[in-house]
Amino acid sequence: MPATYSHTVEIEQDCPLGTQTSSNRHGVCGPGAAPRVDPMKRVAIWAFYAVGALAIGYLALYAYAVFTGQDLQPGKPIHIFRRPDAPEYS
């Protein structure tokens, strides 16, 4: 019994018109044509790239702040004032 490639038809439908080839077993549409990508996949890919770019930017800003920032030095202490008529909880 000969092997059948049922996914070939699905791949050929994803190819732009005029670029289908008869031996389309590996997802290759033809010379100079790329298979179309589902719009939701394209949005997900761009969202993944955007999150990665934000993470790299954040790390770069953190590294900049660490290497160029001033050392922490003790200054005036913080005084916390309480109302004299406040209830005592302890």
Q: Are residues 41 and 17 in the same domain?
A: no
Let me know if residue 87 belongs to a domain: no
Average confidence (pLDDT) over 30-44 = 79
Q: Give the chain's mean pLDDT.
A: 75
Segments forming the whole domain that contains residue 64: 37-69
Name the band, by pLDDT with cuts 50, 70 and 90, for residue 30: low
Check: CB of residue 15 under 8 Å from CB of residue 25: no
Residue with tokens 């302890």: 90
Let me know if residue 60 belongs to a domain: yes
Per-residue pLDDT for 88 more than 90?
Answer: no
Q: Are residues 18 and 47 in the same domain?
A: no
Q: How many domains does the chain have?
A: 2
Check the CA dihedral 63-69-74-76 and report its sign: negative
Per-residue pLDDT for 24 more than 50?
Answer: no
